[in-house]
Every structure is written in structure tokens, then in C-alpha cells.
Structure 1
Amino acid sequence: MSALDSSTSRRAVLRGLFGGGALLAAGPLLAACGSDDDSSSASAAGLTTVTCQLGWKKFTQFGGHFAALKNGYFTAEGIDAKFVSGGPNIDPVSVVTSGQADIGDANGSDILLSVSKNIPVMAFATIYQSTPNALMSLDSNPVTSLAAMAGKTVGLPTTERPLLSAMLSKAGVDPSTVKMVPVGTDPSILSSKQVDGYIGYGTQQGLSLRQSGVPVTITYFSELGNPDYGNALFATRKTVEGKKDLLTKWLRADRKGWDYFVKNPEEIAQYTWDQYHNETGAVLADEKESAKAAVPLIAGPDTRTHGLMWVDQAAFEKVYDLYKTAGLIDKPVDYAAVVTTDILVGAGATA
């Protein structure tokens, strides 16, 4: 039994680190944003409430949002920013399109698929310029490429299966040669050698395995030919077009928060843990390691040219090509309906 298996608290937090296969939760989510008194106070202060539905719980992967709250960046823009925790039964796309939140986050590929199904959402920024999704394997049995997956058993969330199939097909590997088994968010299935590879967040589960003394190799999806964005921010096209100024103010504040996070990852990991660990069950040491590991994925190569949170149509085109190769999308997509950089530029990014 590994060190991870022997730690109940660590396994509890690992189960909460990665979501998938989500459905819309019952009940209105806006009620979870704050009390009526909070809303009244915000109204009295002349602030406009903007609600963001997170893709998962309030771990340090969302630390830039919380840095913006902590430092008063949203208030300075006249915004009362609300962040609603995600979970296994919450689909941010459904929440946003139903009007229960103004903004959501999802993988860029999820936004692309939604648009291909005529769901009117649009990406306008991204937290991670490279997705934290990664293939993890034990150092004693490394699986570090798509070709190496042939004949192997790989555990992954059900929602990631289509994308992995597309990646394999694009690389010339028959997906049927890979045994894909659905898994939850506890990566001890890898440390116990029930699978050869495990797909999840390298910045979360991968580092937590290492923290537990499990020697694991982390291969990020960008190294496997997938330029997908992680935690891309989106809204409905109606919101993007009708509330452009408000979204620009919100994003201007949020970018400052992520800039602070990049410069002070451990400080914000501590702050996030202080604020939310009773809800998430997070392990502080894991949060600090996760925050540091996230920095190069957040401040990716595009940051040098455009600044933080940049999204590019070219990345969506490459993801589209993956899905088309796998037969998951069979019609053209209007990229003008998928992504806009207007709000980013208005918030201070360089086109």
C-alpha cells in the first residue's frame, strides 16, 4: 500500500481535485453566491454583481480570482464579484446558458464542442494558456507518449475519452488498442498499479502523488500535441455583445489578480487555503506546490506577446482538427462565434 493509500485526508482532497461528467445541479445557484444582505450592501455601494460559475471547487487552481478579491481589484472597477464553487453535478455551460451565472469556465475544447452543437457560448479569455490536463504514469512503468499508450490501460474521466480518442487518432494510434477505463478523482488507482496511465490535472493529482512519495512522470497534454486551453472563461454571446463594458471591467480586475498570483503563488495558495479549506478539504502543502507548478501554464509563451489570459483562434482550430479527425465534429465551425479577443484587448492585453 502506498503512502497515498494510507492517508485518508489526502485521498479525500484528491477525490475533489478534478471534475467530469457533470450535470446541472438542482436549484438556483445564484442563491449560493451570498446572502440578501450581501446583495443589498453591494447595491448600496453602487456595485454591479457579476457571478462566475467555477468549473470545480475553490482550490488554488482558481487563486488569481481570489487574489483579485483579496486586493480589491473588482471593487475598484465597481464590481461585486461572486465565485460559485463547481462540483461533480454542475456543468458550467448549462449554468451560464440558463442565466444562473454571467461567466463560466471550461476547457477550450468543451466550448468548441458546445458551439458546434449550436449552444451560444463564446470564450473571451483563459486562465491556463496550456491545459493542466496531463498523462501520469509511474516512473517504473513510464507512458509518456500517445504511441506508448498502445496496449496499455489508461484511467480517465468519462468526459475526457472523446478528446483522448481524437489525440490518438491524429497521432496514428488506433484508439481501440488502448484500454480506457473510467475513473474518479482519486489517482491511487495509478499508485496501486491498476492502470498504466492516469489522466487528470498534473498540477493537482500528479503533484499530490509526488508529495506522497509516489515517483510519477507527468506529461502535459501540450506535450502530446493538444493545444487546448484550461479553464477558459466564457459567457453567452448575448452577454459578450450586450455587456461588453462590464465584462471588460471584470476581466481587467481579474487579470490583475492573476498577475499577482503569478508573482506570489505561495502567498495566494495560503490565502486560498485559509479561506476555503473547510469547504474543499485541501492540503496546504499540496496547494502551495500546485500554485507554483501552475505558473508556467498560466504565463505561457503567448504572455510575452499578448499578456496574461490570452486566447487565440489558432488553438481552437487545432483542437477542431483533432475532433474532426476522430469524427466527433463533422461540420464547419464559425470561429467568430467561438472566441473573441475584444474584451481582452479592452482589459489591457496586446493584440
Structure 2
Amino acid sequence: MFRKLGLSVVAGATLMASLVPASAQTAMKFALDWKFEGTSAPYFVALDKGYYKAEGLDVTIDSGPGSVAGIARVAAGTYPIGFFDINSLARFRDQNPDKDVKSVMMVYDRPAFAIVSVAKTNINVPKDLEGKVLGAPAPDGAFAQWKIFVKENKIDDSKVKIENVGFPVREPMLAEGKVDAITGFAYSSYFNMLSRGIAEKDIKVMLMSDHGLVLYGNALMVNPEFAKANPKAVAGFVRATIKGIADSDKDPEAAIKSVMKRNETADEKIELARLKMSLKDNFVTPWVKANGIGAIDDKRMADAIDQIAITYEFKNAKPKPSDLFTADYLPPVEQRKF
């Protein structure tokens, strides 16, 4: 009898031990900036390979409303962590000084802001936009940088006609010749043009970061109350995400499978190409290769804030880099190089 009781106690203890890790997991809802596309592969890789789970996190990944609008969701605590535009964060904090949302990992060392055109319009350098019609949705993240782009490239913007177009018709209007160029995210507009039947050789992408913009792009942002209560969870999410990016960079063909499992209607060939473009242009830039992913250069960030001030008049004092970004949750640099 005692032996049976002992076995029962041991079995019960074993069962309880097996349940502890699951109950100890910290739930984290993570908001992307947009849909489940090639650019979101690193997060799904980290999820599928158990990197988040190994950090004690029960992560749920949701699509988002865009790289600007989602910041309010993090500020409100609807999502403890999200992936949004750090330039928009500067404006958000100025308008909401009581919301101490900060970025904890720079993901896009270079933003995807671009001017996209077709070969027949002969737009090869920024000044070529003079005398042309530029299609730009008013809330577009790339168009938000237009004044900076104009100033840095000495464009006479009085000679550029801005056509306010909707997101759904932006690329169709360019393909049909109703506008000469458009603003957009490179990895979105480029592939949207391909899907409209425009030949690869005829699509021209002018990255704004190649023409004077020193701005950073999208970063991981956290709700301040959540970060204060769960610093280990935030650091763990960052570590796991870095592993997901490293794996995606090493084997994008395998990484894209994690996206396709969640978006079966997507074209795998296009999403793979989108992932490869974003890895090269946004995630793993020469600076990132030299210095590791996730951090910022304070001087560059200060210069970026000065550029933001060209497009936005701060009501309060201009933010400092430390107001927008903290490196407190980043692992050592040797763990951020790949």
C-alpha cells in the first residue's frame, strides 16, 4: 500500500513538474505592421523553431494596420510589443508625451521608403521628378518623407505635381501611365508592379536612403508598463527574434515556408523574393554586418531626428535618441552578429 502511495506521489510530482514550464510561460501578443508576407518570416521562424518558447514566452503573432497606426495599440497595452516605424514614434510621443513607448531593437537599419517608376518615364535620379506626376497616398509612410527627400536632393517641388491616390490604385495607376512615379515601400510596390505584368527590367526603385535620408525604419516597440513588469520577457523576445532573423538570412528558402503555412493564398515565389530583398536592403545592411543587428548609432539617430523636424513641427522639445530607443534589452554584440 505504501509502495503504491509512494508511486502515486512520484507520478503526481512528475506530472506537476511537466506542467510547470507551460504555466510559467509569459503570454505575449505581437503585432506586425502589415500582413503575413515575406518580410515577416523571421518572427514565424522564431515561433516555429521554438526560440520564443525557449525564452519562456507564449507568443501570438497578429497582422497589423500599418507601420504608423499600430503604435497606439502598443501605447494602450492592447499589444505589449509591436513592429512599427520609429520615425512615426517620434511624432507619436510628441503628441502623447505621457506615453513612454520606446523601441528596444532596431530591425530595419534602412527603411524601405522609395520612389518607384517605370523605365519609360526616364526617372533615374531625384531631380528627374521635376515636371512629372507623383502618385502618393496621403497617409503613406514613404510620402511622409517627401519634404526631406526634396531638401536633400535640391528638387524644385513646385515642378512636381502630387496626385493623392488611394493605396489600392497606386501601382495600377503607375502601370497604366496615369502617374509617372509613386511613393511606397520598395518591397511592396516593386512586387505589386510585377503582379501587374510589368517586366522586372522596366521597374525602377529609388531608395530614399540612397539619396540623403539617414532615417531608420521599423523597430520593435514595447508598452512601458509591460516592459517594467516583464524585463526578462522583453529581452527574451529580442534574443529569439534575432535568432529568427539570422536563420532567415542564412536560409530564406526554408524561412519562407513558415510564412506560407499561415498565408496559403500567397505566391511563394514572390514572397521569397520579397524576403530576400528586405534582408539585403533593410535587415542585414553593411552597417549591421559590421556592428550587429538591433542597435543604433546615436549620432545618426540625432541626425534622423533633425530630418524628421523637416516634415513635422514638434510641439515640445525635439526628442533625444534615448527618448526613442533603449539598448537595455539587447544581448551582447557578439550574439547579434551573423
Would you call these one fold, judging by a TM-score over 0.5?
yes
| AA of the residue aligned to 1:71 | K
Give CA deviations for 1:225-259 in whole Å, capped at 9, x if unaligned.
Answer: 22333321111344444432211011101110111
2:309 alignment counterpart = 324
Q: CA deviation at 1:112?
A: 1.8
Residue 121 to residue 88, structure 1, CA distance change in 2 (3 Å): closer
Distance, in Å, in 2 between the alignment partners of 1:174 and 1:259 is: 42
Q: Paired residue for 1:260, among 220, 235, 247? A: 247
Matched, 1:220 2:204: no
What is the DSSP-based 3-state SS (H/G/I as helix, E as strand, rest coil) of the residue aligned with 2:329? helix
Partner of 1:97: 75
1:153 to 133, 158, 181: 133
Give the counterpart letter for 2:296 in structure 1: V
The AA in structure 2 aligned to 1:292 is K
Q: Given the alignment of the two structures, is residue 57 of structure 1 paired with residue 35 of structure 2, yes or no?
A: yes
Secondary structure, aligned partner of 1:134? strand
When normalised by structure 1's length, the TM-score is 0.79
What is the deviation of 1:90?
8.5
Letter in 2 for 1:196: D
1:267 Cα deviation (Å)? 1.9
Q: Which residues in structure 2 correspond to 1:155-174 (within 5 Å)?
A: 155-159=135-139, 160=141, 161-174=143-156
Relative to structure 1, the CA distance from residue 326 to residue 81 in structure 2 (aligned partners, 3 Å threshold; closer, same or farther) is closer
> Which residue in the other structure is 2:257 paired with?
270
* Cα 1:145/1:238, change in 2 over 3 Å: farther
Q: How does 1:198-237 map to 2 (within 5 A)?
A: 198-210=182-194, 212-214=197-199, 215-237=202-224
Secondary structure of 1:342's match? coil
Q: Are residues 143 and 253 of structure 1, via their aligned partners in 2, closer, same or farther at CA, if it must alter by over 3 Å?
A: same
Unaligned runs of 5+ residues in structure 1 are 1-40
- Counting aligned pairs with the same residue, the percent is 20
Match of 1:188 in 2: 172
CA contact 2:147–2:310 (8 Å) conserved in 1: no
Q: 2:26 aligned to 18, 33, 48, which one?
A: 48
Mean Cα deviation higher: 67-76 or 142-151: 142-151
* Partner Cα distance (1:185, 1:98) in 2: 29
Q: Separation in 1 of the partners of 2:296 and 2:231?
A: 17
Q: CA deviation at 1:174?
A: 4.1
Matches of 2:332 and 2:209 in 1, distance apart? Answer: 28
Note the C-alpha offset of 1:158. Answer: 1.6
In the alignment, the residues of structure 2 paired with residue 89 and residue 341 of structure 1 have an alpha-carbon distance, to the nearest angstrom, of: 21
Q: Structure 2: which 5+ residue stretches go unaligned?
A: 1-18
Contact 1:320 / 1:329 at 8 angstroms: preserved in 2?
Answer: no
What TM-score do the two structures reach when normalised by structure 2? 0.82
Deviation at 1:338, TM superposition (A): 0.9
* Aligned twin of 1:143: 123
Of the structure 1 ranges 264-273 and 254-263, higher mean CA displacement relative to structure 2 is found in 264-273
Matched residue, 2:237: 250
RMSD, aligned CA: 2.5
Aligned with 1:340 (options 301, 326, 337): 326
Letter in 2 for 1:343: Y
Match of 1:9 in 2: none
Which AA in structure 2 matches 1:111?
L
Offset from partner CA, 1:272-315 (integer Å, 9 cap, x none): 123223xxx42222111111212212111222233223333333
Q: Give distance in 1, aligned partners of 2:308 and 2:125.
A: 19
Partner residue, 1:25: none
AA aligned to 2:61 is F
Give the Cα separation in 2 of the matches to 1:89 and 1:129.
15
Amino acid at match of 2:64: G
Match of 2:292 in 1: 307
Range with bigger deviation, 315-324 or 259-268: 315-324
SS of aligned partner of 1:311? coil
**Whole-Å Cα distance in 2 between the matches of residues 266 and 197 of structure 1?**
32
Between the aligned partners of 1:165 and 1:42, the Cα distance in structure 2 is 55
* Kept in 2: contact 1:125–1:310 (CA 8 A): yes
Superposition map of 1:25-36 within 5 A:
none
